[in-house]
Structures are given as structure tokens and as C-alpha cells.
Structure 1
């Protein structure tokens, strides 16, 4: 039993990052907290097709900013991206970042190749050229 609990603690420490992939309207402009964003995504609510692929826990742990994780600092970055016909993300920018300068924005951007949306919206039309805004949250291990 002792070995199992030690293994679980090690696994929790290794997989200390979490991703939340829901589309948001949200608040906070680039690099600041609490201000409305000027970027309005086109894929919201019933138009949001859902994710075909997202980063897994190991991808998240590898991308997480090591200094922030080591110091117990968690953070959320809001990304704004254009969606291709295949559902991959292009031209992504950090729309807002919790704890600027701690590496969360760069870490979230490094994960964008791991994301893929379903290529068609619920109404059957293509996602090509649409935009999406979503949070990526990194949780420091305890």
C-alpha cells in the first residue's frame, strides 16, 4: 500500500498541469487582468464544434513552465486562434495571461499543434477561417 501511495504522489507531481478547453468570451486583454478583450471569437455556444484532439496530461506537464511549477505557481492563459479547414489552429496569440513573465503564455502557445477541432460545426458548415478563444490552465503540483 505504501508503494502505491508513493507512486500516486509521484504521478500527481509529474502530471501537475491541467487543461481546460472550453470556448470563452471571457475578460482580460493581452498581458493584463480584468479588462475586456477586443477579440470576439466566431465559434461560440451552439456554433462550437468541439475538440477532436487536445494535449494529454504528459504534453501539459512537459510544456508547463518549470520555474512556476517548482515554485507552486499555477496559471491560466487565454489563447485566440484561427481554425483551418482541417480543424488545426493557426495564428494563435496570447489574449491574456495570468502571472505575465512566468512562462504560461509561451507554454500554452507551444501546445497549439496538439489541438484540433472537429472540422465541421454542428450545422455541417466548415470551421475554416473561424476563430476560437479558449483557456489553457497549468496547475502546479502540491
Structure 2
């Protein structure tokens, strides 16, 4: 967990920068593929293969979305990493400046890491406030725009549970729907101590690395907020 109130995305890929030189102080990507997109794109034919790599070339549109993507290389060949990289390209968007600098095309590699075994599930516990009771477990951290439009959501993440039940080193696995601020809301809930780990489930051995899986549902108590 970072002080910037951002959850770290638990990607099964490592994304390098484009081959073209970019100013070190300017971001390249305005958006990266969501964790669920990454998991869906990982080749089913690559089971048992210890990861792989593909290099693709795409042409950014003026708004930064990647188009006309093609595979330049994949390693190992014939397993599906090239096709998976092209599929993931739909989840990328460059910043307008980066798109302009790379208007003729951008080449970048994507390294795939096979997903490991899933941690056990554990319930979270939340503080409460009478002033925000209608917003359910999120309380005052419910995203303002989502509340305004009565949009609900859910966030799934893996976190290390400290001895005092505080959540550390959280990695985002999924957020639905995207772009409504639910992941940032969960990050703030953890950072401010609003959310922590509940009691460990009975009959499940604690993981050696203290990593547990949590789901946070954003719903109001009156059933208005639905995704």
C-alpha cells in the first residue's frame, strides 16, 4: 500500500516502456490493462510454461488508444503469448503527448508471468459512522461520483495481514465497474484504518506469507446502488 492511496495492480505481466525514448519525467501510459483483462488474456495453451514474452508494434490514435497492433516476436513461439499481447493492447492508452511523439508507431515488450496459487479468502471488518450509515461498509469513503449516480461496485485484492490485523502491501486483482473510483476508495479506507482484517476463518490454515484475499462490496443499505 502506498501513501498515494493507490492500490498496486497485481498484474501477471510485466510491461516495459516503448522502444522510443521518452522524457524521464513524463508518463507514457494514461491507462494500463485491468487485472481481470490480464488474467483473461493469459494463454490457456501456456499452462505448464514458466512464463513468456512478446514484443508488439501498435499505432496510437490521437486519443492514445492503440490500433493496428501486430506481433514482432514471441518467446517461446507457438504458445499464444503474441496473440495474448495483442489482446491486451486494447487495455492500454498512451498520454496525448506520448501518442503524438509516437504517432508513426510504438514497439514494446510484454513479459508474462504465470499466476500463482490463490490465497485463502478472509472477511474484512470496517469502522462505522452514523452520519454515513446509508453508504454501507464504505461509509464516508464511498466514491462521490458513484454515490451521485447510485452506482455500486466491488473490489478484490490480496493483502498481507499484520499482527494487529492492519492490511499491508495490498495488490489489486479486480475492480468492477472500472473508472468509478472504487479501487482508490478502498486504498483510502485501508490507509485511514477504516478497513482491516476480520477474524481468520475457522478450519483454514493461516498462509505462511500472511497473504489473504479480500472482497469489498460497495452497496448502500437501501439497495439503491447497484452495478
TM-score (norm 2): 0.42
Matched residue, 1:79: 56
Structure that is richer in strand per residue: 2
Matched residue, 2:45: 67
Q: Does residue 139 in structure 1 map to residue 113 in structure 2?
A: yes
Secondary structure at the counterpart of residue 113 of structure 1: helix
**Distance in 2 (alpha carbons) for counterparts of 1:100 and 1:72:** 11
**Distance in 1 (alpha carbons) for counterparts of 2:49 and 2:92:** 26
Matched residue, 1:40: none
| Structure 2 gap ranges (5+) | 1-9, 117-227
**Distance in 1 (alpha carbons) for counterparts of 2:37 and 2:65:** 17
**Distance in 2 (alpha carbons) for counterparts of 1:74 and 1:102:** 10
Residues 54-73 of structure 1: CA deviation (Å, up to 9, x unaligned): 112221111000131x2143
Q: Does residue 58 in structure 1 map to residue 36 in structure 2?
A: yes
Matched residue, 1:22: 17
Q: Which has the higher contact order (CA 8 A, sep 6+)?
A: 1
Rg comparison, structure with higher value: 2
TM-score (norm 1): 0.64
**Distance in 2 (alpha carbons) for counterparts of 1:108 and 1:128:** 19
Matched residue, 1:129: 103
Equivalent residue in structure 2 for 1:111, among 85, 88, 110: 88
Secondary structure at the counterpart of residue 107 of structure 2: strand
Q: How many residues align?
A: 106
